[in-house]
């Protein structure tokens, strides 16, 4: 059985949405967050805004996790990592929020960014460019997250689980 990698961004401290995303994880699955998980710079009012609980639950996950700091995440609250790369089941990913310059992309298969709240799944010169959108505050595109399973990369609605876009990575060719 192949494990999945859930890729999300721009949850902005909304606890019910965080829990919907977290519920997608099975043992062995990974979670990559492309910033603005907590929104501790601006903060929101209301009973659903709870970055402290989200931080505790994120830290308690047994799953492999990756996180980069977004422009609305205060670096002292969790981490100031702006950009990172990692391997997931044969794919090399670059994870960034999207408000900072990117390094040379030569060695990456997938570039995953948040920030715009607009979901996108594009290819250019053999590379995949992904923005999972925002499951809380979408600005066009879908309301949800991305899921990588084997060679299949999908944009998935939340709630409901409907696949709204997909890409077979095995069909990509490098220039």
pTM for the whole structure: 0.95
User: Quick check: bond before 29 cis, omega within 30?
Assistant: no
Confidence of residue 1 (pLDDT cuts 50, 70, 90): low
Element (DSSP H or E) covering residue 165: strand 163-168
Contacts of 126 (CB under 8 A, 6+ apart): 172, 173, 174, 175
Domain ranges of the chain: 4-171
- The reported pLDDT for the residue numbered 45 is 79
Q: Read off the pLDDT of residues 141-166 as tens digits, 9 standing for 90 and up.
A: 789 999 999 999 999 999 889 999 99
HSE (CB half, 13 Å, CA atoms) of 174?
Answer: 6
CATH topology (fold) of 4-171? Purple Acid Phosphatase; chain A, domain 2 (3.60.21)
CA distance 65 to 62: 9
- Enter the tokens of residue 12: 């902005």
């Amino acid at each position: 059985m192949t494990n999945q990698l859930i890729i999300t961004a721009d949850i902005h401290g909304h606890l019910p949405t965080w829990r919907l995303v977290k519920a997608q994880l099975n043992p062995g699955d990974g979670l990559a967050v492309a910033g603005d998980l907590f929104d501790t710079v601006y903060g929101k009012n209301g009973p659903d805004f709870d970055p402290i609980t989200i931080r505790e639950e994120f830290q308690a996950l047994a799953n492999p996790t990756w996180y980069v700091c977004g422009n609305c995440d205060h670096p002292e609250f969790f981490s100031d990592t702006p950009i990172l790369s990692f391997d997931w089941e044969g794919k090399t990913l670059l994870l960034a929020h999207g408000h900072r310059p990117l390094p040379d992309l030569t060695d990456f298969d997938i570039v995953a960014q948040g920030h715009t709240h607009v979901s996108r799944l594009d290819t250019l010169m053999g590379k995949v460019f992904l923005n999972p959108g925002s499951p809380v505050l979408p600005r066009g595109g879908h309301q949800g997250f991305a899921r990588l399973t084997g060679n299949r990369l999908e944009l998935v609605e939340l709630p409901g689980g409907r696949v709204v876009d997909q890409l077979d990575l095995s069909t990509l060719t490098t220039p």
